[in-house]
Amino acid sequence: MSDVQTSSSEVRKPSLLGVLFSPTEQFERIREKPRFGMALTILMVLSVIILSLTGLALVENPIYMEKAGVEEAGLPPEAFTAITIGSMLFGGVIGTPVLLLLRSLFHWLFMMLFRGEASFKQLFSLNTHLYLLPVLSSLIYMVYLWVTGGGGTDPETLPTSLSAFVSAEGFLKGLLGGIEIFAIWELILTASGLSIVGRLSKGKGWAIALIIFGVTLLMMAGFTALGEMADSMAP
């Protein structure tokens, strides 16, 4: 009994960078020690910094300002900057944990459906560590904006997505925007993580990951289409 307790206590905590370089080992650690406090804090701080700098870059972009209708609304540039950065900060501080909670909830529901063994805490820890990939995508996007100013195209287009290479509008544009290098990487690691943490077959792990990914992709495309429709109807 003491040997079991000793071996259990020797299990190291999962690490953020380890998810990139030794994911299988980190997923086993998450199963044994589903910690997330430090990882969540680090990712939220990084998100706030990156999103704030992204907001500052966007308000300097004339295409973004024109699409936002700043001149037509008669909004002072300082007020628009404050609103933009404020919304970015809100997304980093509130949006990040809410997104992780919702995603973990859906994973947990599917885990029960497929008779997996993962608890909500384990899944929240898994999703928290995997959130490093969207943060890295945001970092590249922020650097891209500051270096190129948006490249003279739509500044809201992620340079690591298909929409940066294939011209499209509306629903298709949103669909291509969600098919992005880090999103695919995250999808692969999510499928593997669900299988390892939940003790599921690879097929079931992929099924859950693809369902969530597909629904998220369709929602993003729908919001993009609705946004463009609203812009076209604006006077």
Q: Calculate ∠ Cα 52-58-61, nearest 5°.
A: 155
Q: Is the pLDDT reported for residue 7 higher than 50?
A: no
User: pLDDT tens digits, residue range 174-204?
Assistant: 899 999 999 999 999 999 999 999 999 999 9
* pLDDT tens, residue by residue, 60-117: 877 777 776 666 666 677 777 888 888 888 888 898 999 999 999 999 999 999 999 9
The pLDDT, as a whole number, for residue 88 is 83
The total of other beta-carbon atoms located within 10 Å of residue 73's CB is 10
* pTM of the model as a whole: 0.88
- pLDDT at position 6 is 40
Which range, 29-33, 152-156, 223-227, has the best average confidence (pLDDT)? 29-33
